[in-house]
Amino acid sequence: MKDFISLKNISRDSLVKLIELAYDIKRKPNAYGNKLKGKSVGLLFQKPSLRTKTAFYLGALQLGAAAVYYSPDEVKLGEREEISDVANTLSGYLDAAVLRTFSHKTIEEFVLCPKISVVNGLSDLLHPSQVLGDLLTLRELGKDVRKTEFSYIGDGNNVCHSLLYAFSILGGSISIASPKGYEPEEKILKDCFAIAKKSKAKITVCNSPFKAAKSADVLYTDVWISMGKEKQNKARKRAFKRFRIDDKILMSAKNNCIVMHCLPAHRGQEISDSALDGKHSVVFLQAENRLHSAKAILLAVLEGK
């Protein structure tokens, strides 16, 4: 695998192998300590980050690679310099670049440079590295995706899109509830329904959080206002006010349901304190698993290069 941009074109077997690799790295970190010796990884971020930055930066170091971080103001991708010029320049120094961008098109343009591996560390459209960490969390908790009723309550955003791809590929059951006008993008749903024909995944999209949460094994949510959407603050707060994971919605789910959130969370908006801190929550395990899954991604794109 040269790049890790989207889960869309990953086969079921490759995705399962990647989850298993992340699981193995978590159990035996020392066995992987020198696997990327001599390699260099750059992190080029247009937006803030806590988890993704730490996971890829530290992950690269723990695998024996060197790491460089470029903050949003340093490079000004596409402003100070053309995206292709940045990619071609960095390919002379680095083996891989982890990008966090406003527009997904920026990543698509960067990836045209053949000499550097590119990892999507979040774009407005997709957040695949988050979802690999989430799949590792489900694996670790003994939840077989094909036997899990997964419910996502909230914005049809980048995290939601990558979850849709993952569940379509793995053949799981995913139910999305978003306010009208904030559902997942049509083109992503079209892709996922096509993938689901083969995998037998079950995808439903509705506008009722309680309908989606009924008998769920997993309740997942994300912020109402993603990075870059701040100007829609007021309209979004109005539209999403019923789309919250709290004690009331947890009553509709199964008794042993787990609560997931990619973080950062806005307590009192998309998730209540009681749901985030309560016995169902696995959010900090998810956060920890970003590290092990980031290492699996770096190995997948760089080992043997």
Residue 289 binding result from ligand CP, ligand NVA, none, given CB thresholds of 5 to 8 Å by partner type: none
Asked, as a colleague might, if the bond just before 264 is cis with ω within 30 of 0, I would say: yes
- Contact with ligand CP (CB under 6 A) among 50, 112, 141, 194: 50
Helix (H) or strand (E) holding 161: helix 158-170
- Contact with ligand CP (CB under 6 A) among 4, 5, 26, 49: 49
Decide if residue 46 touches ligand NVA (CB under 6 A): no
- Contact with ligand NVA (CB under 6 A) among 227, 252, 254, 274: 227
Give the binding range for ligand NVA (CB under 6 A) out of 134-142, 209-217, 219-227, 273-281: 219-227
What's the rounded Cα separation, in Å, for the pair 41 and 66?
6
Decide if residue 289 touches ligand NVA (CB under 6 A): no
- Contact with ligand NVA (CB under 6 A) among 87, 223, 249, 257: 223
Minimum Å distance from CB 281 to ligand CP? 15
Report CA-CA distances (Å) from 134 to 32, 78, 149: 21, 31, 15
Q: Are 158 and 185 in contact (CB under 8 A)?
A: no
Helix (H) or strand (E) holding 190: helix 186-199
- Token pair for 33: 């300590």
Q: Is 36 left (phi over 0), alpha (psi -120 to 50) or beta?
A: alpha
130 versus 173: smaller Cβ distance to ligand CP: 130
What residues make contact with ligand NVA under the rule CB under 6 A?
122, 127, 157-159, 222-223, 226-227, 262
